[in-house]
Amino acid sequence: MGRIIKAKSGKSKKKPKINIMTKRPSRKQVIVFIAKSNTELIVNLAYQHIANINKYLKNIKSDIITDFIWVTNEGVNITMNKLANPSNLTIIEKYIKSISNINLDSIESPCLPKSKLYLKILGLSYTMENGVITPDIVKGMLKDVHLFKDVTLVSKPCIIKVSPKLDMVVVWVDIWDSQSSSEAKNIINWQFNIGWYITTICRTNMNLGIPQCKNCWKWGHSTLSCHSHISRCAKCYGAHMTEHHKEKAWYCMENKKLSCLATKEGKLCPHTFKCMNCKEDHQVDSYSCPYWYNYFNREWDSRKQQELFQK
């Protein structure tokens, strides 16, 4: 990547005040990011590992003890009676790596919990040198940027086009950071190169986009809060799940009365249907839908809902 440029301003900039964190987990936890196969080795004999960790901690005359161990999606959490210090984390790391049959390559150093922080990157084009920009492309490019050397992404970046007529996008990134926002303060308002583009990273409010239900495919509510008792197809909006489209939809299944031929095995549905949300020619979950362009624009969504209600 190219050189890094600090955003210019006429006035001296104060350190940004960050108030865009989620509520942090208990600081008494110690997080160990490891593979699922390793979590089973630890949890199956959790009582024994707790006793051994406490024994090692006692040997260094620490007043911290382990209460219990539980599994997370990323690995295991070890809950202590007090906030662990660096020497405690070192003891825990050494013990975990000494467990029999443990896969050392998949273990990261234990750390204290961090909070989720929301940022956005401006100045990128939807069309890059190698084609359309994707979350994986952005993630790979950020790894080569010096500013992001010590930054850990919570998930893949989210890419939203600025408008249907413009080729520019906004990239939303969620990162893990300490409660003091030390990582964010080092990168907010900086400019850097991604490919041929000079981009700027800015702070933003919590990433509260307008949800799209994966059950009825309408916007404005999540799948868990959907009141529809019928699952709809994202392709034809029929009363069946999307993965059953070729089996259930008369467009793709064989129908002699209508002279319809079944879509061949392994082939995608060749038919085009109108989106039930915007009434344009694309699937209801297509990223070309205007609803995706206005993913974070709740005013636009409110106006759209009023228009539909009046009809």
Q: With beta carbons less than 8 A apart as the criterion, state whether 193 and 205 touch.
A: no
pLDDT band of residue 22 (cuts 50, 70, 90) is very low
Question: Which CA distances in Å does 274 have to 12, 25, 46, 220, 286?
Answer: 53, 44, 54, 19, 11
Is residue 1's pLDDT more than 60?
no
Is residue 90 within 8 Å of 33, Cβ to Cβ?
Answer: no
pLDDT tens per residue, range 86-122:
888 899 989 988 888 888 887 888 877 777 788 889 9
- How confident is the model at residue 54, as a pLDDT? 92
pTM: 0.44
For the chain, give every domain's residue range: 4-16+114-203, 29-106
Does residue 284 or residue 9 have the better pLDDT? Answer: 284
Higher pLDDT, 54 or 246: 54
Furthest CA-CA distance within the chain: 83
pLDDT at 257 over 60: no
Local confidence band at 51 (pLDDT 50, 70, 90 cut-offs): very high
In CATH, the number for domain 4-16+114-203 is 3.30.70
For position 18, what pLDDT does the model report? 45
Total length of the chain: 311
Q: What is the pLDDT of residue 55?
A: 92
